[in-house]
Amino acid sequence: MENDTDETTSLLRNSRSPINHLIDDVETIVAAPLDDDNSSCTNNSTARKCTVKTEIEDPIHVLAGTYESLDYDECENDVNIKDEARHGPKWIIKREIARWFVMAMIGIITGLIASVIDVAVEYTSDLKFTYVKHYVDKCAEHYCLLIPFAAWAGFNAMIVMVGAVLTAVFEPVAAGSGIPQIKCFLNGVKIPHVVRVKTLVIKVIGVVSAVAGGLAVGKEGPMIHSGAVVAAGISQGRSSTFRFDLNLFEYFRTDTEKRDFVSGGAAAGVSAAFGAPVGGVLFSLEEGASFWNQALTWRIFFASMLSTVTLNIVASCRNGKCLDLSSPGLFNFGRFDTTSYNSVEILLFITMGVIGGLLGALFNHINYKLTIFRNRYIHYKFLRVVEAMIVAMISGVVSFLVIFIHNDCQPMRAEPTSYPVQFFCPDGQYSSTADLFFQTPEEGAKHLFHDTEGTYGVVTLVLYCIVFFFLACWTYGLSIPSGLFIPSLLVGAAWGRLFGQCLQLMFPNAVWLDSGKYALIGAAAQLGGIVRMTISLTVIIIEATGNITFGLPVMVVLMVAKWIGDLFNEGIYDMHIHLQGVPLLGWEPPLLSSEISTRKVMSHPVTVMRTQEKVGRIVEILKSESHNGFPVVQDYDPDHSNDSGVQTFGTFRGVILRSQLIVLLKLKVFQESPDYQEKLSNLKATDFRDAYPRFPPIQQIHVSPHEHEFTVDLLPFMNPGAYTIQDGASLHRIFRLFRALGLRHVVVVNEKNQVLGMVTRKDLARYKSSVSLSKGKIVIKE
Ligand code: ATP
């Protein structure tokens, strides 16, 4: 992986993709240790730059400089405290009720969006398959198979083109499942445009076109992203895309509140996708949330429940039985009521977990190489659209060829499949190969789980598994919204069923052997091997099967698949996150991080603000530096050094953010202004939240040369309770502090509370270690 990292670095530097543009900024974010003579850093009053070279060769991995952090630490300054006191307890209760109301809306709207996607995919796919099936049946007799063949490929390409154009041209961040982006958001990294309404609209249209266009994708993954966008939109009561502001819920316009709602939205998305409300809550917990409390868990569960119920009501009404409520998710695995397992089979399941882990690692490796290739060569918009169309056509062509080459004839069943195609089979029979390919992936998976023994021949399953494995791998990363859950389940279901059928050949008298059960375990193993999720995925699968009996085997299989896969590479979502240089903080500190001291990690020198700061200096610093947080200090003496000869920067009083400084400059809260006292007493927390989340850049703030001589008193506006850490602490400790509290800045101080350095998430994310296998030995890469 070391070579891979170097390869990635050089590729990203060479390419002209947006990612590369971000990576170029790496130079501005690298902090060199105080006592590191090898680093080539230049210090000046305006900026500190270090060349990356030495750092990349070290334990550090490449990060993009332009990803900003979200601020999950609440600011306890005078303005906020006065505001809270002025509103009183009634207002606090009103805000609590509003939280529940917003969560309810998030659940209901996410459920409705899932219903719209469901209906749209069903109609579009129905249209396509009915037309193609008609010609296949007709042409099998009249030897004109080229017509349906071309029609299938053509249909696929045209439908996919719609989604690909929208994504590539208008909102590239809508591509893929969106799970990595939401994971980053919950982790505390701001990904531009990720929770915009425009992104949601393109996501919905795009996913319909991807599924209906025959790509090896599912519609479930993007639901998580959709739920998150709904949450971010509703909780803010305004949309920057459509330029309206309902002036509602303005007290939710902070990163902390938004993060909590987005957790609810993501959970509601999982719930709608799989009819798994508990799985949804656990997904939000496992995949990101650093901060969690009981009330929040309840609210998220509430949103998840409403989401699945809304979808259920709509789906049941569409089936003509509104009170039936039997369709809880976009995809459920069907009931496994009659199946169980015996304890000996656990060993077989563990073996399947190993296979899932190995195949998952292979899948991720191929996709990793492909993504690097894409970043290097396919960065023009039209090329991305063309690639998506080519994959759509090839998906159609390959499927057709497989059906043509391998004609697996089966007697027509009492319970007909959606589109039974006779093809070259005798009357009364249908081609089971065509049956598998003439389905949406969701239906295909259900057939593999529940079709009776002997429905599919061994060759059919082998071909299906191979074809789908490579198509899914190629498809993930295309410029179109797409989910990876269903294709992974499908590949796993195919080899799992094959595994079961092979066992039947080996033990013909074993009555406990049911290949549908092995298809389910194979599906879990393959999905676990690719995404490496554990607890949430186990619960999602249990809820989707509606059978707790499989709880233990699914858990064991997912654990084994994750452990095996982790020996080779990361889960696919983490892999994509790291390829984009996002400073994501994992759950655990890097291995051996207790041996790395804060001084190695922190940035030094520090740009600080004095408690009474000159307007001119604030403007100059905001213009010349990109930092978003500044320690506020008193007794700042640039020439003063402490005993060990390390420069200090005054006594720590608090931290002030760039956004707060911008508001103060904009409102001209200068001590020399004639109306200063009036301004000060009228200033409310809303004044600081008004421009959230996009504060104007300093270039748009007009400050006259005369005003440059004025001063701003920062004490009432800074966060006096900002977290600090002693310079003797280890990386391990700072990491835990950051991760648990979702921090953006931590100021390093000495025993006299004097500022020594600054640590941000980028300083921590650069340290990364992994455990891997090399020549049969376990190696810890630092
Ligand atoms: P973010 O971008 O995460 O919102 P930020 O812009 O304040 O926060 P980073 O971009 O993470 O900070 O910081 C880039 C580098 O600059 C890091 O190495 C960090 O330690 C350093 N840094 C941040 N703030 C200061 C500061 N006030 N003085 C000196 N160095 C700083």
pLDDT in tens, 51-104: 333 333 344 456 666 788 888 888 888 888 888 888 888 888 998 999 999 999
- Supply the pLDDT for residue 775: 56
Which one has a higher pLDDT value, 724 or 68? 724
Ranking 26-30, 125-129, 580-584, 763-767 by mean pLDDT, the lowest is 26-30
- In this structure, the answer to whether residues 50 and 193 fall within a common structural domain is no
Share of the chain above pLDDT 70, in %: 84
State how far the Cα of 281 lies from the Cα of 539, in Å rounded to an integer. 10
Mark which of 293, 318, 343 sits at the end of a domain. Answer: 318
Cα–Cα distances (Å) from 71 to 187, 692, 693, in that order, read 11, 12, 11
- Compute, in angstroms, the gap from residue 532 CA to the centroid of ligand 1: 32
State how far the Cα of 701 lies from the Cα of 667, in Å rounded to an integer. 10
Confidence of residue 639 (pLDDT cuts 50, 70, 90): low
With a cut of 70, say whether residue 2 has pLDDT above it.
no
- Supply the pLDDT for residue 82: 85
CA dihedral 219, 223, 224, 229 (to 10 degrees): 140
- In this structure, the answer to whether residues 46 and 130 fall within a common structural domain is no
User: What does the mean pLDDT of the chain come to?
Assistant: 82
Which amino acid makes up residue 213? G
Find the helix packing angle between 255-274 and 221-236, rounded to 10°. Answer: 140
With a cut of 70, say whether residue 355 has pLDDT above it.
yes
Of the candidates 641, 657, 659, the one whose C-alpha atom is nearest the C-alpha of residue 649 is: 641
pLDDT in tens, 116-150: 998 998 888 888 777 777 777 777 666 676 777 78
- Compute, in angstroms, the gap from residue 10 CA to the centroid of ligand 1: 24
- Compute, in angstroms, the gap from residue 29 CA to the centroid of ligand 1: 7
Parent domain of 632: 25-66+596-771
Locate the ligand 1 atom nearest the alpha carbon of residue 189 and give its number. 3
Confidence of residue 154 (pLDDT cuts 50, 70, 90): confident
With a cut of 70, say whether residue 480 has pLDDT above it.
yes
DSSP codes of every residue in 370-429: HHHHHHHH--SHHHHHHHHHHHHHHHHHHHHHHHHH---EEEPPSS--SS---TTSPTTE
Does residue 71's CB lie within 6 angstroms of at least one atom of ligand 1? no
**Residue 259 placed within a domain:** yes
Does residue 501's CB lie within 6 angstroms of at least one atom of ligand 1? no
Instruction: State mean pLDDT over 717-728.
Output: 92
- In this structure, the answer to whether residues 108 and 42 fall within a common structural domain is no
Which residue's structure tokens are 């020996």?
A: 567
**Residue 608 placed within a domain:** yes
The secondary element (H helix, E strand) that includes residue 135 is helix 78-142
- In this structure, the answer to whether residues 54 and 160 fall within a common structural domain is no
Locate the ligand 1 atom nearest the alpha carbon of residue 762 and give its number. 11
Cα–Cα distances (Å) from 426 to 423, 430, 434, 547, 622, in that order, read 9, 8, 14, 39, 78
CA dihedral 734, 739, 743, 744 (to 10 degrees): 80
The CATH number of whichever domain residue 742 belongs to comes to: 3.10.580.10
State how far the Cα of 407 lies from the Cα of 670, in Å rounded to an integer. 82
Locate the ligand 1 atom nearest the alpha carbon of residue 190 and give its number. 4
The secondary element (H helix, E strand) that includes residue 610 is strand 609-610
With a cut of 70, say whether residue 1 has pLDDT above it.
no
Which one has a higher pLDDT value, 27 or 131? 131
Instruction: State mean pLDDT over 560-583.
Output: 91
Confidence of residue 309 (pLDDT cuts 50, 70, 90): very high
- Compute, in angstroms, the gap from residue 757 CA to the centroid of ligand 1: 10
List strand residue ranges (DSSP E) for 635-737, in order. Answer: 651-657, 711-713, 724-726
List 430's β-bridge partners, or say none. 410
> Atom 12 (ligand 1): residue with closest C-alpha?
627
- Compute, in angstroms, the gap from residue 653 CA to the centroid of ligand 1: 18
Distance from CA of residue 301 to its chain's centroid?
20
- Compute, in angstroms, the gap from residue 760 CA to the centroid of ligand 1: 6
With a cut of 70, say whether residue 593 has pLDDT above it.
yes
Ranking 505-509, 556-560, 663-667, 751-755 by mean pLDDT, the lowest is 505-509
- Supply the pLDDT for residue 289: 62
**Residue 263 placed within a domain:** yes
Does residue 649's CB lie within 6 angstroms of at least one atom of ligand 1? no
Does residue 284's CB lie within 6 angstroms of at least one atom of ligand 1? no
Does residue 630's CB lie within 6 angstroms of at least one atom of ligand 1? yes
Locate the ligand 1 atom nearest the alpha carbon of residue 629 and give its number. 7
- Compute, in angstroms, the gap from residue 182 CA to the centroid of ligand 1: 23
- Supply the pLDDT for residue 473: 95
Confidence of residue 46 (pLDDT cuts 50, 70, 90): very low
Which one has a higher pLDDT value, 487 or 41? 487
Does residue 598's CB lie within 6 angstroms of at least one atom of ligand 1? no
- Compute, in angstroms, the gap from residue 28 CA to the centroid of ligand 1: 9
State phi, psi for 597 to the nearest 5 degrees: -90, 160
- In this structure, the answer to whether residues 694 and 741 fall within a common structural domain is yes
State how far the Cα of 528 lies from the Cα of 561, in Å rounded to an integer. 6
- In this structure, the answer to whether residues 180 and 47 fall within a common structural domain is no
**Residue 93 placed within a domain:** yes
Of the candidates 549, 558, 547, 548, the one whose C-alpha atom is nearest the C-alpha of residue 523 is: 558
With a cut of 80, say whether residue 611 has pLDDT above it.
yes
Does residue 31's CB lie within 6 angstroms of at least one atom of ligand 1? yes
With a cut of 80, say whether residue 367 has pLDDT above it.
yes
Q: Is the dihedral of CA 349, 351, 355, 361 positive or negative?
A: positive
- In this structure, the answer to whether residues 735 and 669 fall within a common structural domain is yes
Cα–Cα distances (Å) from 308 to 277, 407, 623, in that order, read 7, 40, 49
> Atom 8 (ligand 1): residue with closest C-alpha?
628
Locate the ligand 1 atom nearest the alpha carbon of residue 761 and give its number. 11
Of the candidates 336, 338, 256, 264, the one whose C-alpha atom is nearest the C-alpha of residue 303 is: 264
**Residue 737 placed within a domain:** yes
Work out the angle at residue 740's Cα, subtended by the Cα atoms of residues 734 and 745, and round it to the nearest 5 degrees.
50
Ranking 188-202, 219-233, 395-409 by mean pLDDT, the lowest is 395-409
- In this structure, the answer to whether residues 631 and 757 fall within a common structural domain is yes
Go through 573-609 and write b for each residue having 16 or more CB atoms within 10 A of its CB, e for each that does not.
bbbbbbbbbbbbbeeebbbebeebbbbbbbbbbbbbb
- Compute, in angstroms, the gap from residue 629 CA to the centroid of ligand 1: 7
Does residue 661's CB lie within 6 angstroms of at least one atom of ligand 1? no
- Supply the pLDDT for residue 51: 32
Which amino acid makes up residue 36? D
Locate the ligand 1 atom nearest the alpha carbon of residue 758 and give its number. 20
Which one has a higher pLDDT value, 672 or 244? 672
Q: Count the neighbouring beta carbons within 10 Å of the beta carbon of residue 746.
A: 28
Instruction: Write out 35-87 in H/E/C secondary structure.
Output: CCCCCCEEECCCCEEECCHHHHHCCECCCCCCCEECCCCCCCCHHHHHHHHHH
**Residue 688 placed within a domain:** yes
Q: How many domains does the chain have?
A: 2
- Compute, in angstroms, the gap from residue 195 CA to the centroid of ligand 1: 24
Locate the ligand 1 atom nearest the alpha carbon of residue 607 and give its number. 28
- In this structure, the answer to whether residues 44 and 187 fall within a common structural domain is no
Which residue's structure tokens are 């008004």?
A: 690
83: tokens are: 């505001």
- Compute, in angstroms, the gap from residue 746 CA to the centroid of ligand 1: 10
Instruction: State mean pLDDT over 195-208.
Output: 92
Which one has a higher pLDDT value, 486 or 641? 486
186: tokens are: 């919950």
- Compute, in angstroms, the gap from residue 605 CA to the centroid of ligand 1: 11
- Compute, in angstroms, the gap from residue 608 CA to the centroid of ligand 1: 12
Looking at mean pLDDT, say which of 403-407, 608-612, 680-684, 695-699 comes out highest: 608-612
**Residue 482 placed within a domain:** no
- Compute, in angstroms, the gap from residue 607 CA to the centroid of ligand 1: 10
List 747's β-bridge partners, or say none. 724, 758
Locate the ligand 1 atom nearest the alpha carbon of residue 602 and give its number. 20
CA atoms within 13 A on the CB side of 327: 20
Does residue 496's CB lie within 6 angstroms of at least one atom of ligand 1? no
Looking at mean pLDDT, say which of 43-57, 321-335, 737-751 comes out highest: 737-751
State how far the Cα of 469 lies from the Cα of 484, in Å rounded to an integer. 11
Which amino acid makes up residue 288? G
- Supply the pLDDT for residue 34: 34
Locate the ligand 1 atom nearest the alpha carbon of residue 71 and give its number. 4
- Compute, in angstroms, the gap from residue 70 CA to the centroid of ligand 1: 13
Mark which of 285, 318, 351 sits at the end of a domain. Answer: 318
> Atom 6 (ligand 1): residue with closest C-alpha?
627
Does residue 628's CB lie within 6 angstroms of at least one atom of ligand 1? yes
Does residue 627's CB lie within 6 angstroms of at least one atom of ligand 1? yes
Confidence of residue 13 (pLDDT cuts 50, 70, 90): very low
662: tokens are: 């911008």
List 431's β-bridge partners, or say none. 409
Instruction: State mean pLDDT over 702-730.
Output: 92
Does residue 66's CB lie within 6 angstroms of at least one atom of ligand 1? no
Mark which of 318, 334, 350 sits at the end of a domain. Answer: 318
- Supply the pLDDT for residue 402: 84
- Compute, in angstroms, the gap from residue 628 CA to the centroid of ligand 1: 7
- In this structure, the answer to whether residues 171 and 249 fall within a common structural domain is yes
The CATH number of whichever domain residue 204 belongs to comes to: 1.10.3080.10
- In this structure, the answer to whether residues 754 and 714 fall within a common structural domain is yes
- Compute, in angstroms, the gap from residue 627 CA to the centroid of ligand 1: 5
Does residue 763's CB lie within 6 angstroms of at least one atom of ligand 1? yes
> Atom 17 (ligand 1): residue with closest C-alpha?
29
Confidence of residue 112 (pLDDT cuts 50, 70, 90): very high
Asked whether the whole model's pTM tops 0.90, one would answer no
pLDDT in tens, 258-277: 888 999 999 999 999 888 99
Which residue's structure tokens are 């509601």?
A: 268
Name the residue of 661, 758, 761 to mutate for ligand 1: max ligand atoms within 8 A of Cβ. 758
- In this structure, the answer to whether residues 615 and 758 fall within a common structural domain is yes
- Compute, in angstroms, the gap from residue 739 CA to the centroid of ligand 1: 17
Confidence of residue 422 (pLDDT cuts 50, 70, 90): low
With a cut of 80, say whether residue 625 has pLDDT above it.
yes
Does residue 603's CB lie within 6 angstroms of at least one atom of ligand 1? yes
**Residue 102 placed within a domain:** yes
